[in-house]
C-alpha cells in the first residue's frame, strides 16, 4: 500500500518585524513545494505588522496574540511557537522568524530528505546572514554541525549545540508534541532553539540538508543581540546542565563537560594569564598573539 505524503506546515512567529515581514511571508508563498498550512502568530506587535498580515486573508492562519512585557524575549518566543503549534495540524512543522526568509526550494529539499529518512525528528541546514537592507552577507558554518550521527556526536564531544538557527529548523509533529510548551523558568539563560534542538538526538535522527535554505537577518534589534553577552564557557556549561537534566528525567546518559576539549580551552581563555594563553596557542600551532 502506498504511503501517504506527510502534511507540511510553516509556523511564523512575529513581534514588530514590520519592515521585513512581507518578504518573510512571501518567501513561504513562493515555495516550489507549497505548505499545506501557514500559521502566523503575532505577539502583540505595535509597528503595523498586523495590517500586513491581515492583507494576506485566508492564505495564512493569523493568530493575534497579546504581548506579555513581564516575560523575557526568549520566554515570549517560546510561548509564541507553542501557541502557533497548538493551532496547527501538520505532521512536518517548519519554523520561521518574522524577519527571516526562506529560499524558494527550502521546503522541497527538506521534504525530499525527510522522505528518505522519515523517522528523523529534526532537519536543519546552513543559513546566510542578511543585512537589514536585504544584502547577502556571510554564510554560517560550524564544523560540529556537519555530521551523520548527531547522537554519537553529542556524546563524543560532550556538547549539545549542534544545529543551526531557529529558522532553519523543521520538526516532526510528535517530537514537538512531547516538548511543547517549553519551561524556560529554570534559571538557565538558553535560547528557545537550543532547548528544543539540544535533546532532539535522544528521540531520533537529525538530518543536515545540504546547502543554504534560509536567509537569517542580522540587525541590532535582534533578540539574541538584545540579551546580555555571555562567555562561551558559561553558555557551554548551561547547555550541558540543561541536557543532563532532561537526560536524567528520561533515563539517558549525562554529558561530562570535562570530556569536552572546548571546556578546557574556554577555561584557559577565561582565567589563565596572558603568558599561559600564548603558550597554549604555540602548542596548538597558532600564531603568537596576546589577544583573546
Task: Say if residues 138 and 129 touch (Cβ distance below 8 Å).
Answer: yes
CATH architecture classification, 8-227: Alpha-Beta Complex (3.90)
pLDDT of residue 230: 63
pTM of the model: 0.88
At CB < 8 A and 24+ separation, what contacts does 261-265 make? 261/157, 262/157, 262/159, 262/232, 262/236, 263/158, 263/233, 263/236
pLDDT of residue 1: 44
Distance CA 278, CA 280 (A): 5
pLDDT of residue 121: 98
pLDDT of residue 218: 84
In sequence order, the 6+-apart residues with CB closer than 8 A to the CB of 195 are 78, 182, 184, 242
Half-sphere CA count of 217, side-chain side, radius 13 A: 21
In sequence order, the 6+-apart residues with CB closer than 8 A to the CB of 104 are 27, 30, 31, 32
Prior bond to 145 cis, omega within 30?
no
What stretches in the chain show pLDDT beneath 70?
1-3, 220-230, 263-292
pLDDT of residue 81: 97
pLDDT of residue 263: 67
> What tens digit of pLDDT does each residue of 262-282 get?
766 666 666 556 555 566 566
In sequence order, the 6+-apart residues with CB closer than 8 A to the CB of 57 are none
What is the CB neighbour count within 10 angstroms for residue 22?
Answer: 15
Distance CA 94, CA 28 (A): 10
Amino acid at each position: 500500500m502506498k504511503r501517504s505524503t506527510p502534511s507540511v506546515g510553516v509556523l511564523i512567529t512575529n513581534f514588530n518585524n514590520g519592515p521585513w515581514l512581507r518578504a518573510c511571508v512571501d518567501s513561504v508563498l513562493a515555495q516550489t513545494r507549497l505548505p499545506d498550512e501557514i500559521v502566523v502568530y503575532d505577539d502583540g506587535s505595535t509597528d503595523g505588522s498586523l495590517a500586513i498580515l491581515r492583507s494576506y486573508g485566508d492564505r495564512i492562519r493569523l493568530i493575534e496574540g497579546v504581548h506579555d512585557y513581564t516575560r523575557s524575549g526568549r520566554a515570549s518566543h517560546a510561548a509564541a511557537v507553542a501557541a502557533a503549534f497548538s493551532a496547527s495540524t501538520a505532521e512536518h512543522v517548519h519554523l520561521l522568524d518574522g524577519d527571516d526568509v526562506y529560499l524558494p526550494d527550502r521546503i522541497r529539499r527538506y521534504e525530499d530528505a525527510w522522505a528518505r529518512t522519515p523517522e528523523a525528528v529534526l532537519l536543519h541546514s546552513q543559513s546566510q546572514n542578511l543585512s537589514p537592507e536585504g544584502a547577502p552577507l556571510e554564510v554560517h558554518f560550524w564544523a560540529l554541525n556537519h555530521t551523520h550521527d548527531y547522537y554519537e556526536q553529542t556524546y563524543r564531544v560532550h556538547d549539545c549545540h549542534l544545529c543551526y538557527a531557529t529558522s532553519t529548523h523543521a520538526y516532526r509533529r510528535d517530537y514537538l508534541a512531547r516538548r511543547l510548551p517549553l519551561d524556560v523558568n529554570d534559571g538557565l539563560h538558553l535560547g528557545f532553539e537550543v532547548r528544543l534542538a539540544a535533546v532532539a538526538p535522544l528521540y531520533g535522527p537529525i538530518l543536515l540538508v545540504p546547502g543554504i535554505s534560509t536567509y537569517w537577518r542580522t540587525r541590532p534589534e535582534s533578540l539574541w543581540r538584545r540579551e546580555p553577552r555571555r562567555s562561551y564557557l558559561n553558555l557551554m556549561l548551561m547547555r550541558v546542565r540543561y541536557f543532563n537534566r532532561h537526560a536524567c528525567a528520561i533515563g539517558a546518559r549525562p554529558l561530562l563537560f570535562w570530556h569536552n576539549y572546548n571546556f578546557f580551552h574556554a577555561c584557559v581563555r577565561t582565567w589563565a594569564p596572558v603568558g599561559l594563553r600564548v603558550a597554549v596557542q604555540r602548542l596548538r600551532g597558532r600564531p603568537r598573539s596576546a589577544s583573546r
